[in-house]
Amino acid sequence: MRADRLVAVLLLMQSRGRVTAAEIAAELEVSVATARRDLEALSAAGVPVYPQPGRGGGWSLVGGARTDLSGLSSSEARALFLLLGPAAALAPEARTALRKLLRALPSTFRPEAEAAADAVVVDPSRWGGHRRARPVLVDLLEVAVVRRRKVRFTYSGRERLAAPLGLVSKDGVWYLIAGTSGGRRTFRVDRMADAEVTAEPSERPAGFDLAAAWDEVVTAMEARRATTTAVATLDVRYLPVLRDRFGRHCEVIAHGDRVRVALTAPTALDLARQLAGWGDLVIVEEPRTVRDELAKLAAQLTTVYGRPD
């Protein structure tokens, strides 16, 4: 752990030029005494750091010495931060690692790396269906988001010009959240065609939060989709599988060895079709319409498959 902290101290000095032991202690969440010992350890190890006493003093690298600990090229840094950004939104450890790595980058790389870290959100909950291959346009759109450039593309037969704000991958389906002349819009990437990055700059609104914006989109879409609700019971051991299948459309309303859940879908038939394959593992209590649709499906299957050979 101390080796990691010494590297973090060195990177902090590189990014700020001059630091005090108190500033290091606050940044790395250690005591001032520990920060001072770390600075002295760097000096004793031959790292060219020196203290400057008095008002406005602190610790600096001799001659502004620099050490590029990452060894990454600009494109490599951008690709890495595109990968790590979604993880950093979920795990505190990933956020810390991302912050340390950012300090290790040459200053000319940092703006794109910072933009890349906030360019993509991954939403693991499912909307059903099969996983899809990553659309080829995702790479181009990532560049547009990171470099803050508007994108021109065809969507639903119309040519659009949009300011890309971020990309979202939900269960293998990619979406672009972008600003347009008509306000913020969400586009499915696999329905976009003839996309190109323009030279026109794209401004990101101050305080824009990609994860929060996507949550607003999902909430609106789920409200339109979840018009029929069924109450069902099942053995608790099957709950993780049911949740994976229904995503946000599965809500536990009573716990126990047999759990009661509320399941939602656009119609009673949609619910019946999704539940028919579960057989008697999931028992629908209500409404009657969903039970009737399940009975019709059972009769159809019996007619086709229940005949003697």
Number of domains in the chain: 4
Residues 58/19, Cβ–Cβ less than 8 Å: yes
* Residue 282 CB burial class (10 angstroms; 0-12, 13-18, ≥19): buried
Eight-class DSSP state of 279: G
Amino acid, res. 300: Q
Q: CA 186, CA 170: separation in Å to the nearest integer?
A: 13
287 cis-preceded (ω within 30 degrees of 0) = yes
Residue 232's pLDDT is 96
Contacts (Cβ under 8 Å, ≥6 apart) of 255: 236
Which residue, among 256, 250, 257, has the nearest Cα to 232 in the 3D structure? 250
Residue 231's pLDDT is 96
Decide if 69 is inside a domain. Answer: no
Decide if 254 is inside a domain. Answer: yes
Which one of 45, 64, 83 terminates a domain? 64
Domain match, 194 and 136 both: yes
Those residues of the chain that have pLDDT short of 50 are: 1, 64-65, 69-72, 90
Domain match, 127 and 39 both: no
Amino acid, res. 4: D
Domain match, 14 and 54 both: yes
Domain match, 217 and 232 both: no
Domain match, 129 and 194 both: yes
Domain match, 47 and 59 both: yes
Structural domain for 243, as ranges: 226-305
Residue 286's pLDDT is 94
Domain match, 214 and 292 both: no
Phi, psi of 284 (to 5 degrees): -80, 125
Q: CA 133, CA 19: separation in Å to the nearest integer?
A: 48
Domain match, 128 and 109 both: no
pTM over 0.85: no
Residue 16's pLDDT is 73
Decide if 267 is inside a domain. Answer: yes
Residues 306/263, Cβ–Cβ less than 8 Å: no
Residue 53's pLDDT is 74
Domain match, 23 and 43 both: yes
Residue 79's pLDDT is 56
- pLDDT tens digits along 277-295: 999 999 999 999 999 999 9
Domain match, 81 and 158 both: no
Residue 253: give its domain's CATH number.
Answer: 3.30.70
Exposure string for 219-229, b = 16+ CB within 10 A, e = fewer: eeeeeebbebb
